[in-house]
């Protein structure tokens, strides 16, 4: 379980404050019992015979016993109200998102036209970097991975093993062909195996669909199953144009399913796109948190119980009253 940043303004509160409504009753009881009684109202030569006509004033031991009982009841009422201080926020692990990483595994993904510093790396290596950072940032989500070329391949079922997800794409053998639609359908079916959580797909390719199901037909299938698709197209910088993006089949796939479409031409933009997807999908998770508290009732119930015990022992031993 992952604990978030401590909340700022909260310091102290009661979990069940309605128990504090007993405090006025306790105050009234203390006033009735603790006030001194009036003296006898009848003049008589010997007042010793009329002591029982008035409430006697409390003796010192009796007053101490009364104070102990009063403090004990006060502590018990405060304990019932559940005093607490905030400890932090915690994600609900049952409320994460299932994310399917649907990746192009065609041979062009090993083309070395991306840069890290002064070093050239392949598109696949850049994608591994982006996926690794993305997975590490999402502790409560489950990830799966599907690869597609001319056929589709289940690289990983849904899992919380972030290290496996980060490593599996490094070693997959690249194939020919680009069946984007089939990749979408395969990923949706894998998400369907685990219901009850929000379902998201991050679709990545560097080519056009050239075999299998039409991506728009697959997008309609994903929409029907409640899967939102973020479509990411890797392309040369010279080919990135806003007008072309609107006509891209991947753009239409994202629009149909309620996701977004992105274009990446270098390692930096690829990383930024995954960070943006991470921020957008965390909005839902942020609403599914609950506060952790340090409960303080033991600091009240234990002194209260001890005072009651001490009051009972004292009242029946060394401060025992006899008629």
In a domain, 256, yes or no: yes
| DSSP class per residue in 179-229 | -HHHHHHHHHHHHHTS-SSEEEEEEEESS---SSS-HHHHHHHHHHTTEEE
Assess whether 271 and 209 both reside in one domain. yes
- What torsion do the CA atoms of 240, 241, 246, 247 make, to the nearest 10 degrees? -80
- Condensed to tens digits (0 to 9), the pLDDT of residues 131-182 reads 999 999 888 889 999 999 999 999 999 998 888 888 888 888 889 999 999 9
pLDDT value of residue 100: 96
Assess whether 171 and 114 both reside in one domain. yes
Count of structural domains within the chain = 2
Confidence of residue 215 (pLDDT cuts 50, 70, 90): very high
Q: Is the dihedral of CA 154, 159, 161, 162 positive or negative?
A: positive
Assess whether 65 and 114 both reside in one domain. no
Contacting residues for 42 by C-beta, under 8 A, at least 6 apart? 50, 53
pLDDT value of residue 9: 47
In a domain, 1, yes or no: no
CATH number at residue 225: 3.40.50.410
* 217, two tokens: 């037909």
pLDDT over 90, % of the chain: 36
- Condensed to tens digits (0 to 9), the pLDDT of residues 32-89 reads 776 655 554 555 555 555 555 555 444 566 677 778 888 888 888 888 888 888 776 5
Which position has the higher pLDDT, 9 or 186?
A: 186
pLDDT value of residue 284: 52
Q: What angle do CA 125, 128, 131 make, to 5 degrees?
A: 155
Domain that holds residue 55: 13-89+292-315
In a domain, 5, yes or no: no
Which position has the higher pLDDT, 315 or 16?
A: 16
| Percentages of the chain per state (helix, strand, coil), in multiples of 5 | 45, 20, 30
In a domain, 116, yes or no: yes
Assess whether 227 and 254 both reside in one domain. yes
Selection from 217, 223, 216, 179 nearest residue 201 by Cα: 223
Q: Judge whether residue 241 has pLDDT over 90.
A: no
pLDDT value of residue 319: 64
Beta bridge partners of 290: 90
In a domain, 282, yes or no: yes
Report how far residue 208's alpha carbon sits from residue 222's, in angstroms, rounded to the nearest whole number.
19
- What torsion do the CA atoms of 231, 236, 237, 243 make, to the nearest 10 degrees? -50
Assess whether 103 and 244 both reside in one domain. yes
Q: What does the mean pLDDT of the chain come to? A: 80
In a domain, 184, yes or no: yes
In a domain, 171, yes or no: yes
Assess whether 119 and 249 both reside in one domain. yes
What are the angstrom distances between the C-alpha of 45 and each of 7, 38, 50, 52, 56? 72, 18, 10, 16, 19
In a domain, 81, yes or no: yes
Assess whether 116 and 136 both reside in one domain. yes
Assess whether 154 and 40 both reside in one domain. no
Assess whether 72 and 179 both reside in one domain. no
Q: Judge whether residue 306 has pLDDT over 70.
A: yes
Assess whether 110 and 191 both reside in one domain. yes
Say how many CA atoms lie within 13 Å of 263 toward its Cβ: 18
Assess whether 185 and 101 both reside in one domain. yes
Beta bridge partners of 159: 143
Assess whether 69 and 188 both reside in one domain. no
* 79, two tokens: 């304990």
């Amino acid at each position: 379980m992952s604990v978030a940043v401590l909340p700022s303004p909260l310091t102290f509160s009661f979990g069940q404050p309605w128990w504090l409504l007993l405090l006025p009753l306790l105050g009234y009881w203390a006033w009735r019992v603790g006030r001194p009684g009036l003296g006898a109202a009848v003049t008589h030569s010997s007042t010793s015979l009329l002591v029982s006509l008035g409430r006697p004033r409390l003796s010192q031991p009796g007053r101490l016993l009364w104070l102990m009982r009063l403090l004990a009841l006060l502590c018990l009422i405060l304990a019932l109200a559940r005093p607490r201080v905030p400890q932090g926020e915690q994600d609900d692990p049952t409320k994460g998102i299932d994310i399917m990483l649907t990746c192009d595994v065609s041979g062009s993904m090993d083309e070395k036209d991306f840069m890290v510093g002064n070093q050239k790396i392949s598109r696949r290596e850049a994608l591994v970097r982006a996926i690794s950072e993305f997975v590490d940032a999402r502790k409560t989500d489950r990830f799966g991975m599907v690869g597609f070329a001319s056929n589709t391949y289940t690289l990983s079922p849904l899992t919380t093993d972030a290290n496996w997800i980060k490593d599996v794409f490094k070693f997959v053998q690249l194939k020919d062909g680009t069946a984007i639609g089939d990749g979408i359908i395969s990923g949706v079916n894998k998400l369907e195996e685990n219901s009850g959580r929000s379902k998201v797909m991050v679709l990545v390719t560097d080519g056009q669909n050239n075999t299998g199901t039409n991506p728009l037909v697959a997008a309609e299938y994903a929409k029907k199953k409640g899967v939102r698709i973020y479509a990411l197209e890797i392309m040369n910088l010279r080919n990135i144009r806003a007008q072309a993006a609107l006509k891209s089949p991947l753009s239409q796939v994202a629009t149909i399913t309620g996701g977004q479409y992105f274009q990446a031409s270098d390692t930096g933009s690829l990383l930024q796109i995954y960070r943006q997807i991470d921020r957008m999908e965390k909005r839902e998770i942020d609403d599914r948190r609950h506060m952790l508290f340090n409960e303080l009732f033991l600091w009240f119930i234990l002194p209260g119980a001890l005072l009651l015990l001490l009051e009972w022992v004292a009242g029946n031993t060394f401060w025992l009253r006899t008629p």
